[in-house]
Amino acid sequence: MEEKIIQCLNELIELDLACIAAYEIARAVSRDEEIQGKFSEFQEDHLRHVRELSEHVRRAGVTPPTELDTKGLVIRGFTMLASQEDRTAVLAMRGNEELSNNAYASALQAGLPEEIRSLVASNFEDERRHMSWIRGAVLLRGWDVEQPEIRELSAEARGARRAA
């Protein structure tokens, strides 16, 4: 297998590892059973992605990543800071899933062998399903509207900037 393909798979594995860690954090702060259940389901998908992609990397004689890289640490840290309750956890995971969707979409353009491309396409469909549910949850709960406390802080910041 070409080095470029192994690198592509390893990058997907690293991102899936980051999502696993992020879902663990987000699930821990969530109090809503439906959200917790979806976070667990999505985390299981990412675990499966890591297992399946890692198998292809191993077949090429390369050891796949098993720990968070720098990007993964940043994603985990962002999720930890941003996730304080259900709303903020879902919104943090929306950003993480946008990264995953973009990475899988890019990987499909990388000239992968058919067997691997099929796996990546299947994983991409999981990512699209995650994103669809998250977007629906945000809309259903009205969380896409700027929160009043954010508007107030923004007004204060603008006022302080003008005064300076």
Mean pLDDT of the chain: 92
CA distance 74 to 78: 6
pLDDT per residue as tens digits for the range 75-126: 999 999 999 999 999 999 999 999 999 999 999 999 999 999 999 999 999 9
Cα-based angle 62, 64, 65 (whole degrees, multiple of 5): 145
Residue 143: per-residue pLDDT:
80
For the chain, the domain total comes to: 1
Tell me how far CA of residue 12 lies from CA of 16, 32, 51, 114, in angstroms.
6, 29, 11, 17
Residue 12's CATH number: 1.20.1260.10
Tell me the mean pLDDT in the region 138-148.
77
Domain encompassing residue 10: 3-163
For residues 84 and 28, the answer to whether their CB atoms sit within 8 Å is no
pLDDT per residue as tens digits for the range 98-107: 999 999 999 9
Place 145 in a pLDDT band, splitting at 50, 70 and 90: low
Place 164 in a pLDDT band, splitting at 50, 70 and 90: low
61: left (phi over 0), alpha (psi -120 to 50) or beta: left
Question: What burial class does residue 104 get, using C-beta atoms within 10 Å of its C-beta: 0-12 exposed, 13-18 middle, 19+ buried?
Answer: buried
